[in-house]
Structures are given as structure tokens and as C-alpha cells.
């Protein structure tokens, strides 16, 4: 039902929310990000993996480094999900209400 559960998972951790805040200000390498956190480099990598899965963050692979950036499309997913959710359900409501109305008229 929740179209992109990864988005909800991604937002559930304070470190990941802070990473998104930092990436709002521009691209960063994993090393840049690590220096802002008191957690291990591998923990930072794990968090970045979750953000990548949620498609909130993208990565550019360079020769010696990976550069992370915020994907605005990821945030639009929620909006899209909401629209799709109501389109699907209102279509069913329409069918039900119209069927009930026809029965009443008979």
C-alpha cells in the first residue's frame, strides 16, 4: 500500500535525516559526510545505502571517490504516491456509490 516504503525507512533515523540536511547544501563525498558524524565510516556507508535505496540520494562514481547528491525526484515520489492513492480509491468509491444509487432508484 505504501508505494515507497524505503522513503519512510530512510526518514526514520536521525543520522540519515542529518545527512539529507547536509546534502541540501550541495554534493559531498562519503569522506566529507563522515567528518560531520561521530559514527564509523562503515556506518556512514550503511546509511548512504539506505538513502540510495529510497532514491532520496544519488551517487556519481569518479575514479577515486563517490560523490553523493540529493535527488529531488525522490521527494516528489511522496506527492505522486498520494495522488495515485486517491485516484485508485476514489475510482472504487464512484463505482460503489453509483451502484447503490441505481439500486435505490429501482
Binding site for other proteins (CB under 8 A): 1-2, 7-8, 11-12, 17, 20-21, 24, 70, 72, 75-76, 78-79, 82-83, 86-87, 89-94, 96-98, 100-101, 104
- Our CB check for other proteins shows the closer of 44 and 70 to be 70
In order of 10, 22, 23, 46, 48, the CA distances from 28 in angstroms are 18, 8, 7, 16, 11
- Our CB check for other proteins shows the closer of 18 and 29 to be 18
> What does the alpha-carbon distance between residue 46 and residue 42 come to, in Å, rounded to a whole number?
6
- Our CB check for other proteins shows the closer of 21 and 60 to be 21
- Our CB check for other proteins shows the closer of 38 and 101 to be 101
State in angstroms the smallest separation of the CB of 64 from other proteins: 27
State in angstroms the smallest separation of the CB of 52 from other proteins: 17
Q: What angle do CA 41, 43, 47 make, to 5 degrees?
A: 115
Pick from 18, 21, 42, 22: nearest CA to 32: 22
Record the cell numbers describing residue 59, joined without a space.
Answer: 551517487
Amino acid at each position: 500500500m505504501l508505494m515507497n516504503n524505503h522513503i519512510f525507512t530512510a526518514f526514520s533515523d536521525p543520522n540519515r535525516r542529518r545527512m539529507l540536511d547536509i546534502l541540501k547544501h550541495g554534493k559531498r563525498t562519503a569522506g566529507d559526510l563522515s567528518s560531520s558524524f561521530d559514527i564509523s565510516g562503515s556506518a556512514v556507508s550503511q546509511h548512504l545505502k539506505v538513502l540510495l535505496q529510497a532514491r532520496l540520494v544519488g551517487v556519481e562514481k569518479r575514479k577515486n571517490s563517490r560523490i553523493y547528491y540529493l535527488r529531488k525526484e525522490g521527494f516528489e515520489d511522496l506527492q505522486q504516491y498520494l495522488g495515485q492513492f486517491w485516484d485508485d480509491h476514489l475510482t472504487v468509491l464512484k463505482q460503489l456509490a453509483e451502484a447503490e444509487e441505481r439500486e435505490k432508484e429501482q
